[in-house]
Amino acid sequence: MGDGVRLTSAQKLCFENVQIDLYTDQKALQESYQILSDTNQGKVHLVHGKNRMVVDFSQMATGQPPTRSIERLATELNGEYAIVGV
């Protein structure tokens, strides 16, 4: 999330504005979650679990509500759905 910032996860883009992040430990996941929570660039919809996070940057990138609903993934991935950022 910026020049010189080391990524704490392995990332894979699965749709234009949706990515999957895989973390080696809970601390790395919490750090990324906090960065996304503290952003003032727009709302970020996400599902997070033990070592992964599915992040939808659509609203942040376009200013429009997401066209895909990742909320249903929370149950399927045994995770938690959240909307973070401002």
3-state helix, strand, coil in the chain (%, to 5): 25, 35, 40
As a whole number of angstroms, the distance between CA 71 and CA 7 comes to: 25
As a whole number of angstroms, the distance between CA 85 and CA 35 comes to: 9
Q: What is the pLDDT of residue 19?
A: 92
Q: Which residues contact 31 (CB under 8 A, 6 or more apart)?
A: 8
Q: What is the pLDDT of residue 12?
A: 87
Q: What is the pLDDT of residue 60?
A: 86
pLDDT in tens, 49-66: 989 999 999 988 888 888
pLDDT < 70 positions in the chain: 1-8
Q: Say how many CA atoms lie within 13 Å of 66 toward its Cβ.
A: 19
Do the beta carbons of residue 55 and residue 21 sit within 8 Å?
Answer: yes
